[in-house]
Amino acid sequence: MRWSERQRAMLREMGIPPFWPVEPETAAVMATEAVAAPVPAPVPSEPIKPKQPIAVAQVLDALPQARRPDGVESMDWPALREAVAHCRACDLCGSRTQTVFGVGHIEAQWMIVGEAPGEQEDKQGEPFVGRAGQLLDRMLAALDLTRAESTADKQVYIANVLKCRPPANRNPLPPEVAQCEPYLLRQMALVQPRVVLAMGRFAVQSLLKTSEAIGRLRGKVHEVQGVPVIVTYHPAYLLRNPADKALVWDDLCLAREVWAQRGAQSSR
Ligand code: SF4
């Protein structure tokens, strides 16, 4: 298998050595490359047309009146954070240590959407910590991005579909996802990112309202609330299936292509 320069750069940044045989030429290059070699920016191709708009109003309409977060569609950041912190709308409130709201720049150009807090997230109150979070940070670094809140160029905001940890890290239940997703959609509306990266099955299924497998949704540009959404695997999945890292790198490159195109259309 012949790896492209961008795939090798991704693997270097993710800190993981080759995991399948490579041709001698590639192996020799990888052995001698500097760790900080720049990642080439993908060249934008044809204009990308998003599909399938989904708005927060549609999600709220689908919720029983009694379970709608009151006024969520017009909340500002402090009100939204407060609403989530005190939310007891589903049973997950009973097993959480704390809610996990989000992290990063609140006007970020990139938004990462994950699934649900795990043990460490529940303890620390921040999404994507632990080994999967470290891998995500290396993936972002490969794109010259960071989750830091103070970046002058408004880089990344990270949030999960669920704000409370499911007990024993079980899979989220559909009613829990449905109940919690208005908060995520309001976060998206406030951030107004150029591009969203949906990581993992539950993030993808929640945002795109589909039961299709990630493998069938990758490589396309979807849309939620007018924002392009790119689908990829969750970093925790990659820890178990490192052979799929190159696929994720391709997804990141597509997201970067969309981001660049949207940047050409706006000042953000
Ligand atoms: S998971 Fe979401 S809807 Fe359920 S209690 Fe937590 S914040 Fe509320």
- Which sequence spans correspond to the domains of the chain? 51-265
Distance 90 CA to ligand 1 centre (A): 5
Distance 178 CA to ligand 1 centre (A): 10
pLDDT of residue 56: 63
pLDDT digits (tens, 9 = 90+) for 162-218: 999 999 989 999 999 999 999 999 999 999 999 999 999 999 999 999 999 999 999
Can you give the pTM of this predicted structure?
0.81
CB count in 10 Å sphere of residue 39: 20
Band (148; pLDDT cuts 50, 70, 90):
confident
Distance 106 CA to ligand 1 centre (A): 21
Band (153; pLDDT cuts 50, 70, 90):
confident
Mean pLDDT of the chain: 82
Band (61; pLDDT cuts 50, 70, 90):
low
pLDDT beyond 50 at 74: yes
DSSP 8-state secondary structure symbol assigned to residue 36: T
Residues 177 and 202: beta-carbon distance below 8 Å:
yes
Three-state SS letters, 220-237: CCEEECCEEEEEECCHHH
Interatomic CA distance for residues 15 and 259, integer angstroms? 25
Judge if the beta carbon of residue 179 lies within 6 A of ligand 1.
Answer: yes
List the CATH code of the domain at 51-265.
3.40.470.10
pLDDT digits (tens, 9 = 90+) for 122-131: 999 999 999 9
The DSSP line for 46-81 is: SPP-------HHHHHHHS-GGGSPTTGGG--HHHHH
Q: Which residues of 122-138 are buried (b: 16+ CB within 10 A; e: fewer)?
A: bebbbbbbbebbebbbb
5-14, 125-134, 136-145, 242-251: segment of lowest average pLDDT = 5-14
pLDDT of residue 9: 64
Structure tokens at 96: 């959480």
Distance 79 CA to ligand 1 centre (A): 15
* Ligand 1 atom with minimal separation from the 93 CA: 5
pLDDT digits (tens, 9 = 90+) for 222-236: 998 889 999 999 999
Judge if the beta carbon of residue 87 lies within 6 A of ligand 1.
Answer: yes
Structure tokens at 118: 């795990």
